[in-house]
């Protein structure tokens, strides 16, 4: 029975998945190649064969926004498809190629692959010049020791961008950043020079647009980080993993209990049901004979067994669905390095832009929740919930060991961040935090 189900349902599904995996490099390369040809077609038709930019095209601002947004989507698609191509080619070996030939999958000619990659590289090479967002991303990645703080006004933002570009071009030590004259004098001259600039209004509008785009990209990326893993978890659990587990469960007698805790809880539920029946029989609420009590006990035992069998199957589904959700989350982080850098800048702007009292309040709130006096009870509830989610027995020794080590590590990280970054960026916030904490 099990062999027939495997040969009729599971094996064809696994075979289709394996064929899809073997075709992934060719499929990914073809999609990247088609997208590159689409970009070339737009360049030839609207920009005289040159790159898509405001300098080479004589169009209005709204039309250029359309071209640029479409170009960003196409370039992102090319990067994702090339990542898939490289990853699948890395894991393919000679045995996989022989198996592909046996299944009737034609292996593309290496010269054809090189030709397509050459066309893709020619298209991508035109757009390697960083735009405003990528400049900010590189500044954030380069200056990891100093968090980037975007000023509230466009004039200050322009001056800070100039300073950050100088820092990127030539790293300076702490002694070199201290000049003979105070910085406020130079900042005053820079502000006057900016205010007298005839293009100041245009620069303010352009900086505001760039800031708004960065904020929208960061918020959209946060939503993607939340929605993509949740959708992956639910879709994979209900459409892929669920039917496979249900087939195995229906084909044979699956284990009722995954761990001893589930068995003990089932026995406890059955014992309470039996005691309730006997109590109701004694007080005269229901009149049941010993035979009727035994029949109801058997029905209740079957009901409890089915309930815990479903709980065990659901826990197994959660394990595989969580693995796929983590893989989707990690893949999204790998293919979105620019958005990740912009998100880091967005969070830095929010955190370091708060008032000193607000910073101290948030720090005390987080430290009390995660590493405070009452935090072990919360960690215990979370770990027991995770164990139940995966169908694992809640080992109290491991839970107590985790509580004894992990909050200490978090507390050390909080203190290091306060000493390393916050104390240098906002010493008054650190003083406020110490006064409030005392």
**Does residue 343 sit in the same domain as residue 388?**
no
| Same domain membership, residue 294 and residue 185 | yes
Q: In whole angstroms, what is the distance from residue 254 CA to residue 313 CA?
A: 9
3-state secondary structure of 128: coil
CA distance 350 to 343: 11
Residues 374 and 345 in one domain: no
The torsion angle over the Cα atoms of residues 364, 365, 367 and 372, rounded to 10 degrees, is: 100
Domain count, the chain: 3
Whether 137 and 174 map to the same domain: the answer is yes
- In tens, the pLDDT along 304-331 reads 988 888 888 899 999 999 999 999 999 9
Q: Note whether 88 and 28 are within 8 A (CB).
A: yes
pLDDT average, residue stretch 235-261 = 78
Considering the domain architecture, whether residues 192 and 314 belong to the same structural domain is answered as yes
How many CB atoms within 10 Å of residue 134?
16
Write out pLDDT tens, residues 81-99.
888 888 777 666 666 666 6
The band of 53, judged by pLDDT with boundaries at 50, 70 and 90, is: confident
Residues 177 and 92 in one domain: no
Instruction: Give tens-digit pLDDT for 141-181.
Output: 344 444 433 333 343 444 444 434 443 344 444 334 445 45
Domain boundary among 79, 94, 129: 129
Residues 306 and 432 reside in one and the same domain? no
Same domain assignment for residues 103 and 185: no
DSSP string computed for 237-299: IIIIIHHHHHHHHHHS---S-SSHHHHHHHHHHHHHHHHHHHHHHHTTSS---HHHHHHHHHH
Domain boundary among 352, 376, 404: 352
Do 326 and 336 belong together in one domain? yes
- Comparing CA positions, the residue from 69, 6, 75, 10 lying closest to residue 40 is 75
Compute the distance between CA of residue 255 and CA of residue 262 in angstroms, rounded to an integer.
12
First to last CA, the chain: 70
Q: pLDDT band at residue 187, thresholds of 50, 70 and 90?
A: low
Instruction: Give the integer Cα–Cα distance in Å for 187 and 159.
Output: 8
Q: Could you read off the pLDDT of 199-223 as tens digits, one per residue?
A: 777 777 888 888 888 889 899 999 9
Quick one: DSSP state of residue 9?
I
Q: Which residues contact 364 (CB under 8 A, 6 or more apart)?
A: 433, 436, 437
Examine the domain organization and report whether 139 and 33 are in the same domain.
no
Q: Is the pLDDT of residue 106 over 50?
A: yes
Radius of gyration of the chain (CA): 31
Q: Which domain holds residue 69?
A: 1-129
Length of the chain in residues, anyone? 438
Give the integer Cα–Cα distance in Å for 3 and 5.
5
What whole-number percentage of the chain has pLDDT above 70?
A: 75
- Residue 428's CB: how many other CB atoms inside 10 A? 12
Q: Which of residues 101, 129, 157 is at a domain's end?
A: 129
This prediction has a pTM of 0.55
Residues 58 and 151 in one domain: no
Same domain, 169 and 311: yes
**What value does the mean pLDDT take over residues 290-306?**
88
């Amino acid at each position: 029975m099990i062999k027939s189900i495997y040969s009729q349902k599971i094996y064809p599904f696994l075979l289709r998945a394996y064929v899809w995996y073997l075709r992934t490099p060719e499929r990914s390369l073809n999609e990247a190649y088609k997208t590159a040809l689409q970009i070339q077609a737009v360049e030839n038709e609207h920009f005289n064969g040159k790159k898509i930019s405001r300098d080479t095209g004589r169009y209005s601002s709204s039309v250029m926004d359309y071209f640029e947004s479409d170009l960003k989507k196409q370039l992102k698609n090319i990067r994702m498809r090339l990542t898939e191509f490289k990853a699948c080619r890395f894991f393919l070996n000679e045995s996989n190629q022989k198996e592909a030939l046996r299944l009737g999958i034609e292996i593309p000619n290496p010269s054809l692959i090189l030709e397509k990659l050459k066309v893709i590289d020619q298209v991508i090479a035109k757009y390697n010049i960083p735009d405003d967002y990528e400049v900010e991303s590189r500044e954030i990645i380069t200056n990891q020791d100093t968090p980037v703080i975007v000023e509230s006004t466009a004039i200050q933002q322009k001056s800070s961008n100039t300073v950050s570009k100088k820092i990127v071009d030539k790293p300076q030590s702490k002694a070199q950043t201290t000049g003979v004259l105070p910085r406020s004098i130079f900042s005053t001259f820079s502000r006057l020079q900016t205010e007298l600039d005839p293009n100041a209004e245009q620069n303010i509008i352009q900086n505001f647009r760039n800031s708004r785009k960065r904020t929208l990209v960061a918020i959209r990326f946060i939503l993607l980080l939340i929605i993509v893993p949740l959708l992956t978890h639910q879709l994979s659990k209900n459409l892929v993993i669920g039917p496979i587990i249900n087939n195995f469960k229906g084909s044979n007698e699956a284990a009722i209990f995954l761990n001893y805790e589930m068995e003990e809880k089932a026995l406890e539920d059955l014992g309470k049901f039996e005691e309730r029946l006997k109590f109701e029989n004694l007080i005269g609420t229901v009149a049941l004979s010993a035979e009727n009590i035994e029949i109801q006990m058997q029905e209740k035992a079957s009901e409890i067994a089915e309930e815990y069998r479903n709980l065990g199957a659901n826990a197994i589904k959660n394990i595989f669905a969580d693995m796929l959700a983590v893989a989707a989350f990690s893949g999204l982080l790998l293919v979105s390095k620019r958005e990740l850098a912009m998100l880091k800048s967005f969070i830095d702007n929010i955190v370091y832009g708060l008032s000193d009292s607000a910073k101290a309040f948030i720090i005390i709130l987080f430290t009390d929740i995660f590493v405070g006096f009452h935090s072990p009870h919360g960690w215990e509830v979370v770990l027991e919930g995770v164990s139940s989610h995966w169908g694992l027995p809640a080992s109290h020794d491991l839970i107590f060991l985790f509580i004894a080590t992990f909050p200490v590590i978090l507390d050390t990280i909080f203190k290091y961040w306060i000493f390393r970054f916050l104390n240098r960026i906002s010493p008054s916030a650190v003083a406020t935090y110490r006064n409030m904490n005392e």
